[in-house]
């Protein structure tokens, strides 16, 4: 199924405020589900065996225009060593799934013996922590991904 048809289906989904649209056409099945304001398309191969139709969901690739629709990457503003907790053995500042507010401390980057708090640039949910505790980070390296 071509991307123009998928885009048209996504437009219909949005215009009619639907949460899910399921379409089978020949050996191709498209399932659109609204994720926030952006529909996500999943193409599912369909195999006919006699009079029975089976959907091969485990082999279905996800087709999206972007890797994650609204994910914001919080990047390191400097080169240094990243610390995910205030001190060794302490609870980490954040965990995947945590809700953070703008200004909350995400981690610390030590650079030239100075400890710099890295604060959330926006409010959202921590989707992924992209660094390990004690890891050397480069300027502009992604530290965490936040879903607003």
Q: What is the pLDDT along the chain (148 residues), one digit of tens a residue?
A: 566 777 777 777 777 777 777 777 777 777 777 665 545 554 545 444 444 444 444 444 444 444 445 789 999 999 999 999 999 889 999 999 999 999 999 999 999 999 999 999 999 999 999 999 999 999 999 999 999 8
User: pTM of this prediction?
Assistant: 0.53
Q: How far apart are CA 27 and CA 25, in angstroms?
A: 6
Let me know if 15 is exposed, middle or buried by CB neighbors in 10 A (0-12, 13-18, 19+).
Answer: exposed
């Amino acid at each position: 199924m071509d991307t123009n048809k998928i885009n048209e289906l996504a437009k219909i989904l949005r215009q009619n405020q639907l949460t899910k649209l399921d379409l089978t056409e020949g050996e191709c099945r498209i399932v659109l589900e609204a994720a926030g304001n952006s529909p996500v398309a999943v193409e599912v191969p369909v195999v006919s065996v006699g009079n029975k139709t089976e959907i091969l969901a485990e082999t279905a690739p996800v087709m999206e225009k972007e890797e994650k629709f609204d994910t914001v990457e919080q990047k390191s503003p400097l080169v240094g060593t990243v610390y995910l907790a205030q001190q060794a053995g302490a609870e980490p500042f954040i965990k995947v799934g945590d809700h953070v507010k703008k200004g909350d401390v995400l981690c610390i980057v030590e650079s030239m013996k100075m400890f710099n708090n890295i604060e959330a640039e926006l409010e959202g949910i921590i989707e992924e922590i992209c660094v390990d505790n004690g890891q050397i980070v480069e300027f502009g390296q992604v530290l965490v991904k936040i879903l607003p």
